[in-house]
Amino acid sequence: MSILTVTLNPAIDISYPLETFHLNTVNRVAQVGKTAGGKGLNVSRVLKELGADVLATGFVDDILGAEIVENLKSEGIDSRFTKISGKTRNCIAILHEGQQTEILEKGPRILREEAEGFIDNFKAMLAEVEAIAISGSLPDGLQETFYSDLIAIANKQEKTVVLDCSGRTLEAVLKNPEKPSVIKPNLEELTDLLGKEVTLENIKESLQDRLFNGIEWIVVSLGKDGAFAKVSDDFYRVQIPKIDVVNPVGSGDATVAGLVYGISQHERVENTLKRANVCGMLNAQEAKTGHINKANYQTLFDQLKVEKI
Ligand code: ADP
Protein backbone atom coordinates (compact mmCIF):
# COMPACT_ATOMS: atom_id res chain seq x y z
CA MET A 1 0.00 0.00 0.00
CA SER A 2 1.36 3.37 -0.99
CA ILE A 3 0.39 6.77 0.38
CA LEU A 4 1.28 10.20 -0.99
CA THR A 5 2.05 12.96 1.53
CA VAL A 6 1.93 16.60 0.47
CA THR A 7 4.13 19.13 2.31
CA LEU A 8 4.17 22.32 0.28
CA ASN A 9 6.40 24.33 2.64
CA PRO A 10 8.90 21.84 4.13
CA ALA A 11 11.87 22.93 6.22
CA ILE A 12 15.11 21.86 7.72
CA ASP A 13 14.25 21.75 11.41
CA ILE A 14 17.28 22.74 13.45
CA SER A 15 17.44 22.25 17.20
CA TYR A 16 20.00 24.02 19.38
CA PRO A 17 20.11 22.62 22.91
CA LEU A 18 21.64 25.18 25.29
CA GLU A 19 22.04 25.02 29.03
CA THR A 20 21.44 28.76 29.23
CA PHE A 21 20.35 31.05 26.41
CA HIS A 22 22.19 34.38 26.51
CA LEU A 23 20.62 37.32 24.69
CA ASN A 24 22.73 39.89 22.86
CA THR A 25 25.91 37.80 22.88
CA VAL A 26 27.37 34.59 21.40
CA ASN A 27 25.83 31.19 22.20
CA ARG A 28 27.93 28.18 21.14
CA VAL A 29 26.16 24.92 20.37
CA ALA A 30 27.90 21.54 20.53
CA GLN A 31 25.07 19.20 19.54
CA VAL A 32 23.09 20.46 16.58
CA GLY A 33 20.10 18.38 15.47
CA LYS A 34 18.92 18.70 11.87
CA THR A 35 15.95 16.87 10.36
CA ALA A 36 13.53 17.21 7.50
CA GLY A 37 10.57 19.11 8.93
CA GLY A 38 7.05 20.17 8.08
CA LYS A 39 3.77 18.59 9.16
CA GLY A 40 3.47 16.35 6.10
CA LEU A 41 6.97 14.98 6.64
CA ASN A 42 6.02 14.04 10.23
CA VAL A 43 3.03 12.21 8.75
CA SER A 44 5.39 10.47 6.30
CA ARG A 45 7.69 9.18 9.04
CA VAL A 46 4.84 7.79 11.14
CA LEU A 47 3.27 6.16 8.07
CA LYS A 48 6.58 4.47 7.32
CA GLU A 49 6.79 3.23 10.90
CA LEU A 50 3.25 1.84 10.57
CA GLY A 51 4.48 -0.17 7.59
CA ALA A 52 3.15 1.83 4.62
CA ASP A 53 5.09 2.72 1.50
CA VAL A 54 5.31 6.49 1.40
CA LEU A 55 5.91 8.94 -1.41
CA ALA A 56 6.53 12.49 -0.18
CA THR A 57 6.02 15.56 -2.33
CA GLY A 58 5.97 19.36 -2.15
CA PHE A 59 8.27 22.20 -3.20
CA VAL A 60 12.02 22.31 -2.45
CA ASP A 61 15.12 24.17 -3.65
CA ASP A 62 18.42 22.59 -4.76
CA ILE A 63 20.44 22.97 -1.57
CA LEU A 64 18.31 22.40 1.53
CA GLY A 65 15.98 20.37 -0.69
CA ALA A 66 18.78 17.88 -1.30
CA GLU A 67 19.23 17.56 2.48
CA ILE A 68 15.52 16.95 2.93
CA VAL A 69 15.47 14.29 0.21
CA GLU A 70 18.56 12.61 1.71
CA ASN A 71 17.11 12.69 5.23
CA LEU A 72 13.86 11.10 4.05
CA LYS A 73 15.75 8.50 2.04
CA SER A 74 17.72 7.48 5.13
CA GLU A 75 14.35 6.65 6.73
CA GLY A 76 13.17 4.64 3.73
CA ILE A 77 10.86 7.36 2.41
CA ASP A 78 10.77 8.01 -1.34
CA SER A 79 10.15 11.56 -2.48
CA ARG A 80 9.42 13.43 -5.69
CA PHE A 81 9.47 17.17 -4.99
CA THR A 82 8.98 19.98 -7.49
CA LYS A 83 12.08 22.19 -7.71
CA ILE A 84 11.68 25.90 -7.04
CA SER A 85 13.87 28.95 -7.53
CA GLY A 86 13.05 30.35 -4.06
CA LYS A 87 14.91 29.14 -0.97
CA THR A 88 13.64 26.28 1.21
CA ARG A 89 13.37 27.43 4.81
CA ASN A 90 15.14 26.65 8.07
CA CYS A 91 13.12 26.47 11.27
CA ILE A 92 15.12 26.85 14.45
CA ALA A 93 14.16 25.64 17.91
CA ILE A 94 16.39 26.79 20.79
CA LEU A 95 15.94 24.45 23.74
CA HIS A 96 17.00 26.21 26.91
CA GLU A 97 16.22 26.00 30.63
CA GLY A 98 13.26 23.70 29.98
CA GLN A 99 11.84 26.19 27.49
CA GLN A 100 11.66 26.29 23.71
CA THR A 101 12.23 29.48 21.70
CA GLU A 102 11.41 29.05 18.02
CA ILE A 103 12.45 31.06 14.99
CA LEU A 104 10.35 30.01 12.01
CA GLU A 105 11.14 31.29 8.54
CA LYS A 106 8.09 32.01 6.44
CA GLY A 107 9.45 30.13 3.46
CA PRO A 108 9.74 30.82 -0.26
CA ARG A 109 7.26 32.32 -2.69
CA ILE A 110 6.09 29.83 -5.32
CA LEU A 111 6.00 31.05 -8.92
CA ARG A 112 3.05 30.35 -11.21
CA GLU A 113 4.96 27.99 -13.49
CA GLU A 114 6.28 26.10 -10.44
CA ALA A 115 2.72 25.66 -9.16
CA GLU A 116 1.66 24.38 -12.58
CA GLY A 117 4.62 22.00 -12.65
CA PHE A 118 3.57 20.65 -9.26
CA ILE A 119 0.03 19.96 -10.50
CA ASP A 120 1.44 17.93 -13.41
CA ASN A 121 3.66 15.94 -11.02
CA PHE A 122 0.76 15.42 -8.63
CA LYS A 123 -1.41 13.98 -11.39
CA ALA A 124 1.34 11.57 -12.39
CA MET A 125 1.98 10.43 -8.79
CA LEU A 126 -1.69 9.84 -8.01
CA ALA A 127 -1.74 6.80 -10.26
CA GLU A 128 0.79 5.12 -7.94
CA VAL A 129 -0.95 5.64 -4.60
CA GLU A 130 -4.13 4.65 -2.78
CA ALA A 131 -4.56 7.73 -0.62
CA ILE A 132 -3.19 11.23 -0.03
CA ALA A 133 -2.45 13.17 3.16
CA ILE A 134 -2.20 16.94 2.71
CA SER A 135 -0.83 18.89 5.67
CA GLY A 136 0.06 22.43 6.65
CA SER A 137 -0.38 25.93 5.35
CA LEU A 138 -0.02 27.17 1.78
CA PRO A 139 3.24 28.91 0.86
CA ASP A 140 3.11 32.43 -0.55
CA GLY A 141 2.33 32.76 -4.21
CA LEU A 142 -0.24 29.95 -4.39
CA GLN A 143 -3.94 30.69 -4.91
CA GLU A 144 -6.27 30.07 -1.96
CA THR A 145 -7.93 27.36 -4.08
CA PHE A 146 -4.70 25.35 -4.50
CA TYR A 147 -5.70 22.58 -2.08
CA SER A 148 -9.19 22.44 -3.61
CA ASP A 149 -7.57 21.98 -7.03
CA LEU A 150 -5.53 19.02 -5.69
CA ILE A 151 -8.64 17.56 -4.03
CA ALA A 152 -10.62 17.86 -7.27
CA ILE A 153 -7.92 15.93 -9.15
CA ALA A 154 -7.78 13.24 -6.43
CA ASN A 155 -11.58 12.96 -6.24
CA LYS A 156 -11.76 12.39 -9.99
CA GLN A 157 -9.48 9.38 -9.51
CA GLU A 158 -11.50 8.28 -6.43
CA LYS A 159 -8.54 8.57 -4.06
CA THR A 160 -9.07 9.30 -0.36
CA VAL A 161 -7.78 12.71 0.73
CA VAL A 162 -7.04 13.47 4.39
CA LEU A 163 -6.60 17.22 4.82
CA ASP A 164 -4.99 18.77 7.90
CA CYS A 165 -4.84 22.54 7.69
CA SER A 166 -6.46 25.43 9.51
CA GLY A 167 -7.64 29.02 9.32
CA ARG A 168 -8.44 30.62 5.97
CA THR A 169 -6.92 27.72 4.05
CA LEU A 170 -9.34 25.22 5.62
CA GLU A 171 -12.24 27.62 5.27
CA ALA A 172 -11.51 28.06 1.55
CA VAL A 173 -11.54 24.26 1.08
CA LEU A 174 -14.80 23.83 3.00
CA LYS A 175 -16.51 26.48 0.88
CA ASN A 176 -15.44 24.75 -2.35
CA PRO A 177 -17.69 22.05 -3.88
CA GLU A 178 -14.76 19.58 -4.08
CA LYS A 179 -14.47 18.02 -0.60
CA PRO A 180 -11.70 16.00 1.06
CA SER A 181 -12.73 12.66 2.62
CA VAL A 182 -11.30 13.54 6.03
CA ILE A 183 -10.50 16.64 8.07
CA LYS A 184 -8.94 16.72 11.56
CA PRO A 185 -9.67 20.03 13.29
CA ASN A 186 -9.26 20.59 17.05
CA LEU A 187 -11.79 22.52 19.18
CA GLU A 188 -9.91 25.78 18.74
CA GLU A 189 -9.90 25.42 14.96
CA LEU A 190 -13.63 24.54 14.97
CA THR A 191 -14.32 27.59 17.13
CA ASP A 192 -12.47 29.78 14.61
CA LEU A 193 -14.27 28.21 11.67
CA LEU A 194 -17.80 28.42 13.04
CA GLY A 195 -17.36 31.76 14.79
CA LYS A 196 -18.82 30.35 18.03
CA GLU A 197 -17.25 28.53 20.96
CA VAL A 198 -17.24 24.78 20.23
CA THR A 199 -17.08 22.55 23.31
CA LEU A 200 -17.78 18.88 24.05
CA GLU A 201 -21.31 19.95 25.03
CA ASN A 202 -22.24 21.36 21.62
CA ILE A 203 -19.87 19.41 19.38
CA LYS A 204 -22.52 17.09 17.90
CA GLU A 205 -24.65 19.96 16.59
CA SER A 206 -21.53 21.92 15.58
CA LEU A 207 -20.33 19.10 13.31
CA GLN A 208 -23.74 19.09 11.60
CA ASP A 209 -23.16 22.64 10.36
CA ARG A 210 -23.69 22.84 6.61
CA LEU A 211 -20.06 23.98 6.24
CA PHE A 212 -19.11 20.30 6.71
CA ASN A 213 -21.62 18.86 4.21
CA GLY A 214 -20.05 16.23 1.99
CA ILE A 215 -17.12 15.42 4.30
CA GLU A 216 -17.26 11.80 5.37
CA TRP A 217 -14.87 11.88 8.33
CA ILE A 218 -14.48 14.77 10.78
CA VAL A 219 -12.06 13.78 13.52
CA VAL A 220 -11.76 16.33 16.31
CA SER A 221 -8.59 15.67 18.29
CA LEU A 222 -8.77 16.63 21.96
CA GLY A 223 -5.17 16.24 23.17
CA LYS A 224 -5.06 14.31 26.47
CA ASP A 225 -8.85 13.79 26.23
CA GLY A 226 -8.66 11.66 23.07
CA ALA A 227 -11.01 12.51 20.21
CA PHE A 228 -14.57 12.97 18.99
CA ALA A 229 -15.54 11.98 15.47
CA LYS A 230 -18.37 12.17 12.99
CA VAL A 231 -18.19 9.48 10.31
CA SER A 232 -21.04 9.65 7.76
CA ASP A 233 -24.07 10.11 10.07
CA ASP A 234 -22.56 8.42 13.13
CA PHE A 235 -20.82 10.03 16.11
CA TYR A 236 -18.00 8.46 18.12
CA ARG A 237 -16.20 9.35 21.35
CA VAL A 238 -12.65 7.99 21.73
CA GLN A 239 -11.56 7.70 25.39
CA ILE A 240 -7.84 7.31 26.07
CA PRO A 241 -5.93 6.49 29.27
CA LYS A 242 -3.64 8.97 30.99
CA ILE A 243 -0.03 8.66 29.79
CA ASP A 244 3.33 10.21 30.61
CA VAL A 245 4.01 12.79 27.92
CA VAL A 246 7.51 13.63 26.70
CA ASN A 247 6.81 15.87 23.68
CA PRO A 248 3.30 16.22 22.17
CA VAL A 249 4.51 18.30 19.17
CA GLY A 250 3.56 16.33 16.04
CA SER A 251 0.85 14.25 17.75
CA GLY A 252 -1.76 15.71 15.40
CA ASP A 253 0.42 14.67 12.44
CA ALA A 254 0.78 11.16 13.87
CA THR A 255 -3.02 11.07 14.19
CA VAL A 256 -3.33 11.96 10.50
CA ALA A 257 -0.95 9.11 9.65
CA GLY A 258 -3.13 6.68 11.62
CA LEU A 259 -6.27 7.91 9.87
CA VAL A 260 -4.96 7.72 6.32
CA TYR A 261 -3.37 4.30 7.00
CA GLY A 262 -6.51 2.81 8.59
CA ILE A 263 -8.87 4.18 5.95
CA SER A 264 -6.75 2.99 3.05
CA GLN A 265 -6.60 -0.48 4.65
CA HIS A 266 -10.44 -0.43 4.85
CA GLU A 267 -10.33 -1.05 8.60
CA ARG A 268 -13.50 -0.81 10.69
CA VAL A 269 -14.23 2.79 11.70
CA GLU A 270 -13.67 2.03 15.41
CA ASN A 271 -10.28 0.49 14.63
CA THR A 272 -9.11 3.44 12.54
CA LEU A 273 -10.16 5.87 15.27
CA LYS A 274 -8.22 3.85 17.82
CA ARG A 275 -5.22 3.58 15.51
CA ALA A 276 -5.20 7.35 14.97
CA ASN A 277 -5.29 8.08 18.70
CA VAL A 278 -2.67 5.45 19.53
CA CYS A 279 -0.35 7.06 16.96
CA GLY A 280 -0.92 10.50 18.52
CA MET A 281 -0.23 9.11 21.99
CA LEU A 282 2.88 7.18 20.91
CA ASN A 283 4.25 10.36 19.34
CA ALA A 284 3.60 12.26 22.58
CA GLN A 285 5.62 9.63 24.45
CA GLU A 286 8.75 10.29 22.36
CA ALA A 287 11.18 13.22 22.31
CA LYS A 288 11.44 13.16 18.50
CA THR A 289 8.63 14.84 16.56
CA GLY A 290 6.88 12.56 14.07
CA HIS A 291 8.14 9.30 15.51
CA ILE A 292 6.35 6.42 17.21
CA ASN A 293 7.67 3.35 19.00
CA LYS A 294 5.57 0.53 17.59
CA ALA A 295 6.64 -1.84 20.38
CA ASN A 296 4.15 -0.03 22.65
CA TYR A 297 1.34 0.00 20.07
CA GLN A 298 -0.78 -2.98 21.13
CA THR A 299 -0.65 -2.29 24.88
CA LEU A 300 -2.04 1.21 24.32
CA PHE A 301 -4.51 0.07 21.65
CA ASP A 302 -6.11 -2.38 24.09
CA GLN A 303 -6.70 0.41 26.63
CA LEU A 304 -8.68 2.69 24.26
CA LYS A 305 -12.47 2.78 24.17
CA VAL A 306 -14.56 3.90 21.22
CA GLU A 307 -18.23 4.51 21.94
CA LYS A 308 -20.91 5.33 19.38
CA ILE A 309 -23.03 8.16 20.75
P1 ADP B 1 -3.29 18.82 17.43
O2 ADP B 1 -1.88 19.14 17.82
O3 ADP B 1 -3.46 18.63 15.97
O4 ADP B 1 -4.31 19.72 18.08
P5 ADP B 1 -3.79 16.90 19.53
O6 ADP B 1 -2.98 17.68 20.49
O7 ADP B 1 -5.26 16.80 19.82
O8 ADP B 1 -3.57 17.36 18.03
O9 ADP B 1 -3.17 15.43 19.50
C10 ADP B 1 -3.61 14.43 18.62
C11 ADP B 1 -3.84 13.14 19.38
O12 ADP B 1 -2.63 12.74 20.07
C13 ADP B 1 -4.93 13.23 20.47
O14 ADP B 1 -6.21 12.96 19.92
C15 ADP B 1 -4.46 12.13 21.43
O16 ADP B 1 -4.87 10.85 21.00
C17 ADP B 1 -2.92 12.21 21.35
N18 ADP B 1 -2.39 13.14 22.37
C19 ADP B 1 -1.95 14.40 22.20
N20 ADP B 1 -1.56 14.96 23.37
C21 ADP B 1 -1.74 14.02 24.31
C22 ADP B 1 -1.53 13.96 25.75
N23 ADP B 1 -1.05 15.01 26.43
N24 ADP B 1 -1.85 12.81 26.39
C25 ADP B 1 -2.34 11.75 25.71
N26 ADP B 1 -2.55 11.74 24.37
C27 ADP B 1 -2.27 12.86 23.68
* Interface predicted TM-score (ipTM): 0.98
Average confidence (pLDDT) over 4-14 = 97
In sequence order, what DSSP letters do the residues of 33-52 get, joined into one string? EEEEESHHHHHHHHHHHHT-
Statement: residue 49 has pLDDT above 90: yes
Tens of pLDDT, residues 215-274: 999 999 999 999 999 999 999 999 999 999 999 999 999 999 999 999 999 999 999 999
Q: What is the DSSP string of the chain?
A: -EEEEEESS-EEEEEEEESSPPTTS----S--EEEEESHHHHHHHHHHHHT-EEEEEEEE-SHHHHHHHHHHHHTT-EE-PEE-SSPPEEEEEEEETTEEEEEE---PPPPHHHHHHHHHHHHHHHTT-SEEEEESPPPTTS-TTHHHHHHHHHHHTT-EEEEE--HHHHHHHHTSSS--SEE--BHHHHHHHHTS---TTTHHHHTTSGGGTT-SEEEEE-GGG-EEEEETTEEEEEE------S--TTHHHHHHHHHHHHHHTT--HHHHHHHHHHHHHHHHTSSSTT---GGGHHHHHTT-EEEE-
291 CA distance to ligand 1 centroid (A)? Answer: 14
* Residue 287 or residue 300, greater confidence: 300
Residue nearest (by alpha carbon) to ligand 1 atom 1: 252
Residue 189 alpha carbon, nearest atom of ligand 1: 4
pLDDT (mean) for 24-43: 95
Mean pLDDT value of segment 12-25:
95
Mean predicted confidence (pLDDT) in 101-123:
97
Q: Is the pLDDT of residue 1 over 80?
A: no
Residues 204-214: pLDDT tens digits? 999 999 999 99
Whether ligand 1 lies within 6 angstroms of the CB of 255 is answered as yes
Check pocket membership of 238 for ligand 1, CB cut-off 6 A. Answer: no
The mean pLDDT value of the chain amounts to 97
CB of 227 sitting under 6 A from ligand 1:
yes
Share of the chain above pLDDT 70, in %: 100
Q: What is the mean pLDDT of residues 132-139?
A: 97
Predicted model pTM? 0.96
Average pLDDT over residues 110-130: 97
Amino acid at 270: E
